[in-house]
């Protein structure tokens, strides 16, 4: 065995030894019990109440609020119902549409960017104290078909809204999970 092969084997052995030493240090985030033996993350997330957004009924923001709320509830509770609420998550949404590309010959928009900016705060229900707050945003693009395809344009915008709503829900869900996992 040459000195290069010996050196490579020694490095691999050192990496394997370090991996074996730290193998017990890692705990899955969604394990049955927390890192210190306390309640599981799913149990803590189930104590969050997600009230409906305060937006006008029938508006695009109302549909987005329902989509984001449903996604957050599913990520927190799964298919079941939540536990008695200890926390309340309040959200505010602001949407935007910007034309990104216009056809130079017809001056019609070809591509739009749709964005949702969300601010949220988690309050403890017993004390009404804000324990966590933050903001997140999602910007997605959608193509706009020709003038004759107005229903396809509306459907493209709705798909863009749905994709942005999923990103917002994922960001907030991840932030909530990290907050509860870190031990508050």
> Contact, 155 vs 128, CB < 8 A?
no
- Distances, alpha carbon 184 to alpha carbons 38, 142, 176, in Å: 13, 39, 10
> Contact, 92 vs 116, CB < 8 A?
no
- Tell me the per-residue pLDDT of 95-104, one tens digit each, with 9 for 90 and over: 888 877 777 7
62 pLDDT more than 80? yes
If we measure between CA atoms, which residue out of 138, 162, 154 comes closest to residue 66? 162
Q: Specify the pLDDT at position 24.
A: 63
What mean pLDDT comes out for the span 135-150? 83
- Tell me the per-residue pLDDT of 3-52, one tens digit each, with 9 for 90 and over: 667 888 888 888 887 777 666 665 555 555 555 556 677 888 888 999 98
Q: Specify the pLDDT at position 6.
A: 82
**Confidence tier at 132 by pLDDT (50, 70, 90):** very high
> Contact, 141 vs 121, CB < 8 A?
no
Q: Which CATH class is domain 38-181?
A: alpha beta
Which residues, listed in sequence order, are joined to residue 109 by a DSSP beta bridge? Answer: 102
Q: Specify the pLDDT at position 105.
A: 76
Determine how many CB atoms are found less than 10 A away from the CB of residue 161: 22
Domain-wise residue ranges, the chain: 38-181
73 pLDDT more than 60? yes
């Amino acid at each position: 065995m040459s000195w290069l092969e010996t050196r490579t084997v020694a490095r691999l052995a050192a990496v394997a030894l370090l991996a074996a030493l730290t193998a017990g240090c890692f705990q899955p985030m969604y394990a049955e019990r927390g890192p210190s033996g306390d309640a599981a993350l799913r149990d803590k997330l189930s104590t969050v109440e997600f009230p409906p957004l305060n937006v006008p009924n029938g508006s695009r923001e109302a549909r987005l609020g329902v989509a984001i709320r449903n996604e957050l509830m599913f990520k927190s509770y799964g298919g079941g119902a939540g536990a008695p609420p200890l926390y309340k998550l309040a959200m505010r949404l602001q949407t935007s549409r910007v034309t990104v590309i216009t056809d130079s010959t017809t001056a019609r928009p070809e591509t739009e960017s749709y964005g949702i900016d969300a601010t949220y705060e988690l309050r403890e229900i017993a004390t009404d104290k804000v324990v966590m707050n933050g903001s997140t945003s999602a910007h997605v693009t959608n193509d706009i078909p020709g003038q004759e395809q107005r229903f396809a344009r509306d459907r493209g915008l709705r798909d863009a809204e749905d994709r942005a709503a999923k990103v917002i829900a994922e960001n907030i869900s991840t932030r909530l999970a990290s907050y509860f996992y870190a031990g508050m």
